Structure 1
Amino acid sequence: MTMNKPNAAHEVTSAGVTRLALFDLDHTLIPADSDYEWGVFTTALGWNDAADFAIQNDVFYRQYKAGTLDIHAYVRFATRAIRQQGAIKSEAAHADFMRAVVLKVIQPQARQLVQEHQAAGDAVVIVTATNEFVTRPIATAFCVPELIAINLARDPDTGWFTGEIDGVPSFREGKVARVEQWLANRQLGWGDVQSTFYSDSINDLPLLEHVTHPVATNPDDRLRAIALERGWRILELFKD
């Protein structure tokens, strides 16, 4: 790991102030996009038309990287296969996905970073724009019970996903709103915490601007430029 500033996340804070460590997931804690890889995995199972899915998936991914993604349209697209296959087959496939893909890309230095915050007594939360079905098992693999992800609406009759988003999506400015709600549920506000947020993406600029210690982690080109301009810490988590 290389960085351009000392780690501020473990600084001693004043009495009564809680330390909060927030982590984006894709390309931040793991060197992959979990939703994209899940789409590739389900396509290999024959759950999607390979050519059509690849084209649409690539378009949405480019939009995400550019900061122009329609998150509602993307979630409908990304959950289409599991909605068609149902809960039992989808959950079994995701367990296979974890073994075949995700657990193989989780790197020791990412686990170590999370564990350092936990050992320091920080509240650790993964905050991701990927949906809860894909990301809950990944958060569990990091031993992080607190997950803020896109919540998926469920059909009241079947109990399975409808393809719509339930509540505020944890995407762009929505991440700020969802973290604020997480804090409010614990009778806390931003002024009550020393907060650190690790992210790779320009999409997370609103939350990076909101926390005490923004950390551009494996940053994309646009975020790197902003971090350098503003003197934010830059962390290359996946480089020696």
Structure 2
Amino acid sequence: MHHFAVYDMDKTITYAPTWTSFLVRTAAVEAPWRLALLPVAAGATLGYVFGLLSRARLKEITHALLLGRAIPEATVARAAARFADRIVESGIYSGAITQIAEDRAAGNRIVMATASYGFYAAAIAERLGFEAVIATGVVREHGMIRAQIAGENCYGRAKLAMLEAWMAGQGIARGDAVVRFYSDHVSDEPSLEWADVAIAVNPHTQLRAMAWSRGWRVEDWPK
């Protein structure tokens, strides 16, 4: 049997969501003038709140505004490393660090499955010792990262589909695997249902109620 411990990232491992922080911190260093576009990005966020934009489209718009429609991969790699160092130093739950170590010691392969973009989530995962990252991808052309999602936004049912595809790509049948899945948010219900062991970590109200009703573990990790 293959054993996996799969972790969501934002607000499961990290204290807070990471995308806006990554955008703002990267723009401040690489193109400070783009910070003047933050009100436009806020307007796009309102469009999402009112159902005028999808999550995926909101990501693409805020990406284009704060990073540009095309940005060199080398610049993104530099920004991702800088951001990951900061997050790992002061933005990770100590409970997550402890649990990751326990899962690894128990023989689990440690996997991150996140809706965040892989181009920076992978840098965080690497520093935490993850073996694989399943995340939202971007279009890459001629050494540039485009403000365009490649494939699907790794969220909700799409995250589960991407997890299943990744496992199949490893040549592992679902029946030959034992999966633990950790998340803070109800959007991960499909993956939590699919897992052999579902753990709601620092869950918001809706997931906490769902976990109690379905007999899932609930853990509140300390900072």
TM range (shorter): 0.7 to 0.9
- Using the size of structure 1 for normalisation, the TM-score is 0.80
Contact 1:126–1:144 (CA<8 Å) still a contact in 2? yes
Specify which of 182, 200, 215 is matched with residue 198 of structure 1: 182
TM alignment of 1:167-182, pairs within 5 A: 167-182=151-166
- 2:131 aligns with 145
**What pairs up with 1:155-234 in 2 under 5 angstroms?**
155=141, 158-234=142-218
Shift of residue 138, structure 1, vs aligned partner: 0.5
Q: 1:166 to 1:54 in 2, by over 3 A?
A: closer
Look up the match of 2:85.
99
Q: Is 172-181 or 104-113 further displaced after alignment?
A: 104-113
Alignment of 1:1-240 (within 5 A): 17-45=1-29, 46=32, 47-49=34-36, 51-53=38-40, 55-56=42-43, 59=46, 63=49, 70-80=54-64, 81-83=66-68, 84-155=70-141, 158-238=142-222
* Preserved contact between residue 153 and residue 163 of structure 1 (Cα < 8 Å): yes
In the alignment, what sits opposite 1:11?
none
* Aligned residues: CA RMSD: 2.5
Which deviates the most, 82-91 or 183-192?
82-91
**Structure 1 letter corresponding to 2:103:** H
Structure 1 unaligned runs (5+)? 1-16
In structure 2, relative to structure 1, the CA distance for the partners of 1:36 and 1:227 (3 Å cut) is same
Count of aligned positions: 218
Superimposed CA distance per residue, residues 114-141 of structure 1 (whole angstroms, 9 cap, x where no aligned partner): 1111111111110000001121110011
**Structure-2-length-normalised TM-score:** 0.86
**Which position in structure 2 is the counterpart of 1:8?**
none
TM-superposed deviation, 1:102: 4.4
Shift of 1:67: 10
Report which of the two has the higher share of helix: 2
Relative distance call for 1:69 and 1:211 in structure 2 (3 A) is: farther
Write out per-residue CA displacement over residues 211-236 of structure 1, whole angstroms, 9 at most, x where no aligned residue.
Answer: 11111111111111111111210010
Residues 162-216 of structure 1 show CA distances to partners (whole Å, capped at 9, x for unaligned) of 2222223321101111111111112222221111100001111111111111111
Seq. identity, %? 28
The alignment partner of 1:169 has SS state of coil
